[in-house]
């Protein structure tokens, strides 16, 4: 389904941004 594909992409993007932010600002974790 297209909705499932979009949901999976949003989750992947969110995780990628979260990991990048954790690498840039490690003092917050």
- DSSP codes of every residue in the chain: -HHHHHHHHHHHHHHHHHHHHHHH-GGG-
| Spatial contact of 25 and 18, defined as CB atoms under 8 Å apart | no
Q: What is the pLDDT of residue 29?
A: 59
Nearest to 17, CA basis, from 6, 7, 3, 25: 25
Q: What domain range includes position 11?
A: 1-29
Nearest to 18, CA basis, from 1, 10, 3: 10
Q: What is the pLDDT of residue 14?
A: 97
1-29: pLDDT as tens digits = 899 999 999 999 999 999 999 899 877 65
Q: Is the pTM above the cut of 0.85?
A: no
Residue showing tokens 């490690």: 26
Q: What is the pLDDT of residue 28?
A: 66
How many domains is the chain partitioned into structurally?
Answer: 1
């Amino acid at each position: 389904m297209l909705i499932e594909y979009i949901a999976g992409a949003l989750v992947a993007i969110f995780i990628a941004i979260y990991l990048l932010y954790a690498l840039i600002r490690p003092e917050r974790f």
